[in-house]
Amino acid sequence: MSKFTLATAQYDIGFFHQWEEFAEKLARWVTNAAQQDARLLVFPEYGSMELASLFGETVYRDLQQQLHAMQSLLPKWHDLHTELAKRHNLFILASSFPTQQNDGRFVNRAYLFGPTGLVDFQDKLMMTRFENEQWHISGGDQIKVMDTELGRIGIHICYDSEFPMIANRQVAAGADLLLVPSCTDTQAGFHRVRIGCQARALENQCYVVQSPTIGNAPWSEAVDVNTGRASVYTPVDYGFPDNGILAEGEDNQAGWVFATVDLSEIARIREQGQVFNYRDWPKQFNLNGL
């Protein structure tokens, strides 16, 4: 299936008193996208941190306590996403979830669920100063590409999108679609990720999908301020938008942004485009000079 509709979320951080409130919220989001015939749903980085509200102020005001407390929710969080993906026969890139490893470290992990269950996960590779210095979340060390009936998919979690070699390796492994869940608290941060996404789409002549958290959650130590807009980026060439933006939302308005993508167009543009950014990528390493 090369042509399909996807939905990328501008996701507002909520506050819950019981698990059922979150489950109802997620079900509404997924059902709404399914009613618009979306086959792939993209949620943002750290959207899962709204679940810390379930543990009370002592926990959600403490960066470390919330990470440990949330591990108790991970099994039923998995089950909920699995059930919704199966029920609606679609793929869900869930909001990234800080996940504790056997050695005690936490990684920022994005799980992809499909109609038959969990497809795979991608850990965030490059960590921001906040994650490194204050939150003590560790970076992953494996770049993945995920096989689905929609095509091969790569995932970049926020800051990862600003490093071109990661995307190039995924595209070399067959990914024509890159998903970028993000969480940024300033317009500068949002635009860094946005510029990175557009650069990756340009360099690799592929689709890139960005999904941000939005809105204020003053109760949260982790995701108190969130700004951005969801977008779908494309190559900048024949048959694609002149500005490389297929769809985008309005700043800080919760909801889905929908777009129809055709992955067969990626092969076409790499063969017939005005330029051959992806083909010419290796040539830069053969240049002489400084």
Q: What is the pLDDT along the chain (290 residues), one digit of tens a residue?
A: 689 999 999 999 999 999 999 999 999 999 999 999 999 999 999 999 999 999 999 999 999 999 999 999 999 999 999 999 999 999 999 999 999 999 999 999 999 999 999 999 999 999 999 999 999 999 999 999 999 999 999 999 999 999 999 999 999 999 999 999 999 999 999 999 999 999 999 999 999 999 999 999 999 999 999 999 999 999 999 999 999 999 999 998 999 999 999 999 999 999 999 999 999 999 999 999 87
Cβ(244)–Cβ(235) under 8 Å?
yes
Please classify residue 14 by burial: count the beta carbons closer than 10 Å to its beta carbon, then call 0-12 exposed, 13-18 middle and 19+ buried. middle
Task: Please count the other Cβ atoms lying within 10 Å of the Cβ belonging to residue 275.
Answer: 13
Mean confidence (pLDDT) of the chain: 96
Say what the pLDDT of residue 73 is.
98
Cβ atoms of 47 and 213 within 8 Å: the answer is yes
Q: What is the pLDDT of residue 132?
A: 93
CA distance readout (Å), 10 to 1, 212, 251, 268: 26, 5, 9, 31
Report pLDDT digits (tens) over 211-252: 999 999 999 999 999 999 999 999 999 999 999 999 999 998
pLDDT score of 2: 87
- Say what the pLDDT of residue 59 is: 93
Whole-prediction pTM: 0.97
Per-residue burial over 25-50, b = 16 or more CB atoms within 10 Å of its CB, e = otherwise: ebeebbeebbeeebbbbbbbbbbbbb
| Domains assigned to the chain | 8-286 (3.60.110.10)
Give me the pLDDT at residue 252, please: 84
Measure the CA–CA gap between 7 and 258, rounded to whole angstroms.
Answer: 5
158 within 8 A of 152, measured Cβ to Cβ: no
In sequence order, the β-bridge partners of residue 38 are: 5
How many residues are listed for the chain in this entry?
A: 290
